[in-house]
Amino acid sequence: MTLTSTTLHDQAKAANTASRKLAGISTEVKNAALIAIAEAIEANRMSILRANEQDLEAAKRDGLDFHMMDRMTLTNARVKDMADAARNIAALEDPIGEILEQRDMPNGLHLERVRVPLGVIGVIYESRPNVTIDIATLCLKSGNAVVLRGGKECILTNTVLAGIVKNAIESAGIPSDVVQFVETTDRALVKEMLEMDDVIDLMIPRGSAELVKFVGENAKMSAITGGVGVCHTYIDAGANLEHALKIVVNAKTKRPTVCNAMDTVLIHQSVAREFLPNLATEFGVHDVELRADGRAMSVLDALPGGAKVVPAKSDDFGTEFLGLIASVKIVDSIDDAMYHIAEYGSKHSEAIISENTEAIEKFLNEVDSGAVFANTSTYFNDGAQFGLGAEVAISTNKLHARGPMGLKEITTYKWKVRGQGQVRE
């Protein structure tokens, strides 16, 4: 489809106009629309999968890499997850209209600070078609209109999904203009979209570090420009090593192509000789390549059978691998581990494995990250897992939202001031 910057602006303007109507629509109507979306996804499962199969065939011809292919692939289970997410969001409390605080002033004025929608959210994303549903449904429940611009690798799948959403919400009595999908893969229009601060209130990039950087440098509206996940797990001197092995393997291998997958293991020197060979063996079973610093390599002189261990290069620390690769480093103390995380982490997801309460609290309190974990996997850093229904992004920013962004994170507030004729002297 040919789309000009003028017609793209018209789409965003239509979303902006519709957002004012959506702000006044009842929770009951919004929930009915979300249920309608879930039912429509299930009813159109085969159409969704056929479109996804065409996208995958094109991606193979274009030579897309493993992590991109995995992210864009839909299955029956993943389609069901999208429908379930819509239902889960319908079941959540509506944040709009929540009174955050109220007070009566000495002059008789009554003040309320009330939660309201942001307005229009623009999202530029790559590869993952579930993002279309997750963001559209979260925006709908929170009273926001949305302009979705997916990547060319999933254009057919996303077009089908966006059409399903628009038809479903219209059948429930909500203007279909609240969801706009940009049906073009022309990258030149991305920069145009980033300049539409007159009609888009917040921009969220979902994808590569290059995309996030581009949005950060070019967006005229507020933008969530974090989200790249360079994630560490620190195995403390006081760790239960059986638990540690299970957690590290889960964090690396359960879904290695996503942003909350672990990239680097930091191991206290007192447990390295016991833990490292077992880790190398288990990673070998899962076909994970372990890139070890010099001290770790010396522990692994006699490599376990099946293990894939190579010397680490300097850029193996601070890298988001998005695949079956992990770096490992031996450290002398928890302070050394936290120093490494501060230098190489991206403030996304950081974990400690320890039975030492003091060490756990030190790590949780002092590590600067959107989410910090003790004795569990970084793979849990996810909006649905946090009870948010889904997420529009995982933010590594400190303002205005941090960590998984659910309903409340895509709202703002306004003051309502009621008087009885008072004037300010």
Express each pLDDT in 187-238 by its tens digit: 888 999 999 999 999 999 998 888 999 999 999 999 998 778 999 999 999 9
* Other C-beta atoms lying within 10 Å of the C-beta of residue 348: 25
Query: Given a cut of 60, is residue 176 above it in pLDDT?
Result: yes
Three-class DSSP category at 350: strand
Query: 400: cis peptide before it, omega within 30°?
Result: yes
Full-prediction pTM beyond 0.95? no
In terms of Cα–Cα distance, which of 109, 112, 110, 118 is closest to 100? 112
For 300-348, strand residue ranges (E) read 308-311, 325-331
**Token code pair at residue 325:** 């690769």
Can you give the pLDDT at residue 68? 87
Give dist(CA 420, CA 414) in Å, integer: 20
In terms of Cα–Cα distance, which of 112, 158, 145, 137 is closest to 30? 137
Three-class DSSP category at 116: strand
Query: Given a cut of 80, is residue 273 above it in pLDDT?
Result: yes
Q: Which long-range contacts (CB under 8 A, 24 or more apart) does 46-50 make?
A: 47/160, 48/74, 48/79, 48/157, 48/160, 48/161, 48/164, 49/74, 49/75, 49/76, 49/79
CA 265 from chain centre, in angstroms, equals: 22
DSSP for 202-259, please give it. Answer: EEEEES-HHHHHHHHHH-SSEE-------EEEEE-TT--HHHHHHHHHHHHHSSTTST
- Token pair 């099946």 in the structure block, residue: 306
**Token code pair at residue 371:** 């989410």
DSSP for 42-67, please give it. Answer: HHTHHHHHHHHHHHHHHHHHTT--HH
Residue 178, amino acid: V
231-380 shares the fold of 5-226+397-418: no
Express each pLDDT in 37-87 by its tens digit: 999 999 999 999 999 999 999 999 999 988 889 989 999 999 999 999 999
Can you give the pLDDT at residue 228? 87
Domain 231-380 in this protein, CATH class: alpha beta
Domain ranges across the chain:
5-226+397-418, 231-380
Task: Output the CATH code of domain 5-226+397-418.
Answer: 3.40.605.10
Q: Which residue has the higher pLDDT, 186 or 408?
A: 408
Beta bridge mates, 117: 411
Residues 6+ apart with CB under 8 A from 417: 109, 110, 111
